[in-house]
Amino acid sequence: MNLLCLSELLKKCIIGTKFEAKTHFAGGCVRDYLLRDASSEQTSADIDICIELNNGSMLLAEHLEHKLNAVTLSSYPEFGTLKLSVQGITLELVSTRREVYSYPSRYPKVSYGTLLQDTMRRDFSINALLMDVCSMKVLDLCGFGIQDLEQRTIRCIGKPAKRFREDPLRLLRALRFALRFRFAYEDATWLAMKQCTNELSRLSDRLVNSEISKIQHFSSRDELTKVIDQLGWGESLSGFL
């Protein structure tokens, strides 16, 4: 099922309710939809939906359980997230939120926030695009998402070094997206990736192994090693390659 078909399914349940105009596809599914032919039969494996309502994820889940016999798979109230199965598709529902990090923890304290605040807490501009579930209108609230998709650029939202220190997993995610899509890095983002090398030590071996495994789907060992050497990450990641 592609995103257009999913929109048709969901909007029948949303139009005329408090969720209308408050419910948006977010992140990777919007990015992937825009990067390829919109008529593609399959959509992204990860379907994130953000709801601009306090406790919106839980409220929408209850609504879809009633309307579509959806099934809740998991729930993380402290982060305002919930996984839901709808006709065989897994949706991750997220209430729009603000995040505050306390170094060195990479797990933020979250609170309800506006759609703009939710957008600006995200990692990269290409992952911050939104699409209204009912109208399919694309919103680029960070101001760079569409441009960076067109120019094939990886750019942090906000100050790159701050983004990477908040959560150093973003360093590996930046590498993965660049290799997956064959995108280049915006200058400040690339510089911060080199400056924040030591932050990689805060990640567990499990997380690093998982991310390196994903990266290796999109690059050869030689290509990956070359980029890691350019970034100065060789010593930090030597045991994972």
Q: Are residues 11 and 91 in the same domain?
A: yes
Tell me which residues of the chain have a pLDDT lower than 50. Answer: 39-41
- Same-domain pairing of 128 and 180: no
Answer whether residue 209 is part of any domain: yes
DSSP for the chain, please give it: --HHHHHHHHHHHHTTSTTTTTEEEETHHHHHHHHS-TT-S---S-EEEEE-STTHHHHHHHHHHHHH--EEEEEEGGGTEEEEEETTEEEEEEE-EEEE--TT-S--EEEE--HHHHHHTSSBGGG--EEETTT--EE-TTS-HHHHHHHTEE-BSS-HHHHHHH-THHHHHHHHHHHHHTPEEPHHHHHHHHHTGGGGGGS-HHHHHHHHHHHTTSS-HHHHHHHHHHHT-HHHHGGG-
Question: Which of 148, 179, 210 is the last residue in one of the domains?
Answer: 148
Judgement on whether residues 199 and 232 belong to the same structural domain of the protein: yes
Are 187 and 86 contained in the same domain? no
Query: Are residues 119 and 139 located together in one domain of the fold?
Result: yes
**141 and 23 belong to one structural domain:** yes
Q: What is the CATH number of the domain that holds 191?
A: 1.10.110.30
Model pTM score:
0.93
Q: Which of 216, 220, 153, 167 is nearest to 196 (CA)?
A: 167
pLDDT of residue 139: 98
pLDDT, tens digit, for every residue of 4-43?
999 999 999 999 999 999 999 999 999 999 998 554 445 5
Tally of domains within the chain: 2
Residue 186 sits in which domain range? 158-240
Both 81 and 175 in one domain: the answer is no
Say yes or no: 40 and 140 in one domain: yes
Q: Which of 148, 171, 188 is the last residue of a domain?
A: 148
**Is 111 contained in some domain?**
yes
Q: Considering the domain boundaries, does residue 153 fall inside one?
A: no
pLDDT value at residue 39: 46
